[in-house]
Amino acid sequence: MTEVLQDTTNSQDQALQQLALVRQTLVSGGTIGGLRGISQQECEALYQFGHGFYVQARYSEAFQVFALLVTYDHLEPRYLMALAGAAQMLHRYEDALQHYGTAALLLIDDAAPYIHAAECALSLGRRDDAEEGLKLALDVLAMQTNPALQARAETLLEMIVRPGEKQ
């Protein structure tokens, strides 16, 4: 009985040490993938694998691969955007909103996360949130030249603004 209790205590101590290491790694700007020895090349191969699923409309498999990638490297916006896109295609709009929001923090000069988040908000019937996201996208787009995204944001905004309201 004493050995079982000792083993349990040792296991708990090891788990706490591992948790402390993970915390320190993340606080210092590291990633779980880095901690586990996962290379950028391996992550890129996984990304291509997930992308292959996505283009084949195998969104559930793509979601799983991209979720693993985000676990390995939560600071890579491509992985967040891919995970959000797969979630959106699976009609997991709340999940997609969360990941688009995180991507927007990392991609401050990119309107795409805001536009896609607005699409998700519209799918959830949250018109005001969609409008706010599209206005943020247009603010970002005002500082760059991207006619395709500009047109997409303006078209979506026109669709949701009530008649007689000002944008």
Q: Quick one: pLDDT at residue 68?
A: 96
Q: What is the mean pLDDT of the chain?
A: 88
Q: Quick one: pLDDT at residue 16?
A: 72
Residue 6: pLDDT band with limits 50, 70, 90: low
69, 83 Cβ separation under 8 angstroms:
yes
Residue 103: pLDDT band with limits 50, 70, 90: very high
Q: Quick one: pLDDT at residue 70?
A: 96
Q: Residue 144: name the closest of 99, 116, 102, 112 by CA.
A: 112
Instruction: Confirm or reject CATH 2.60.40.10 for domain 35-161, answering yes or no.
Output: no
Q: Residue 141: name the closest of 101, 114, 102 by CA.
A: 114
Helices (H), the chain: 2-27, 32-36, 40-55, 59-72, 77-89, 93-106, 112-123, 127-141, 147-160
Residue of 13 and 53 predicted with greater confidence: 53
Percent of the chain at pLDDT exceeding 90: 71
Q: Quick one: pLDDT at residue 37?
A: 77
Residue 8: pLDDT band with limits 50, 70, 90: low
Residue 79: pLDDT band with limits 50, 70, 90: very high
User: Does position 114 have pLDDT exceeding 80, yes or no?
Assistant: yes
Angle at 70 between CA 69 and CA 74, to 5 degrees: 130
Q: Residue 140: name the closest of 159, 158, 153 by CA.
A: 153
Residue 2: pLDDT band with limits 50, 70, 90: low
